[in-house]
Amino acid sequence: MTLKDQITEDMKTAMRAKDAPRLLTIRGLLAACKQREVDERIVLDDAAVVAIVDKLIKQRKDSISQFATAGRTDLVDKESAELAVLESYLPQRLSADEITSEVRTIVSELGASGPGDMGKVMAAVKARLAGKADMGLVSATVKQALAG
């Protein structure tokens, strides 16, 4: 069963359970997937769906920080609930130590040194770790590896 099929089944389950907040989040995710399929005239594979989930998670995290700054705890709670639903569709994430190990391997494979090689290293890292790691943490790890 593909990830998209699993999400569709979860939507049906949420409808039967009358779980409105979960249903709204899942419908938004499916709408984003469908929009990408229509725009690019493709059928999404699991990696593409994970990329969409990652994008939606990033949006929720940004919203949560802005709502928290504004003191809107009601909206923070709503976005946090949506974030939890979306995170359930991500594969197991790599730990910080595993990310550091992968980044060091890639840096040595490319012979990269210094901040000027950041783009080259990030392109290779994204190809290898897409969907498996938080790219914000990966970026910071790459900066650290190239600086020292």
In the chain the domains, ranked by start, together with CATH numbers, are 3-87 (1.10.1510.10), 96-147 (1.10.10.410)
Q: What is the CA radius of gyration of the chain?
A: 18
What's the mean pLDDT in 51-76? 94
Give the rounded percent of residues in the chain with a pLDDT score beyond 70. Answer: 99
pLDDT, mean over the chain: 90
What confidence category does residue 121 fall into, taking pLDDT thresholds of 50, 70 and 90? Answer: confident
What's the mean pLDDT in 120-124? 85
- Helix 135-147 to helix 96-110 angle, to the nearest 10 degrees? 50
CA-to-CA dists, residue 146 to 28, 68, 99, 103, 128, angstroms: 38, 34, 14, 10, 18
Q: CA geometry: angle at 29 spanning 80 and 73, to 5°?
A: 20
Q: What would the DSSP string read from start to end of 77-96?
A: HHHHHHHHHHHTTSPPPPPH
Give the pLDDT score at 148. 65
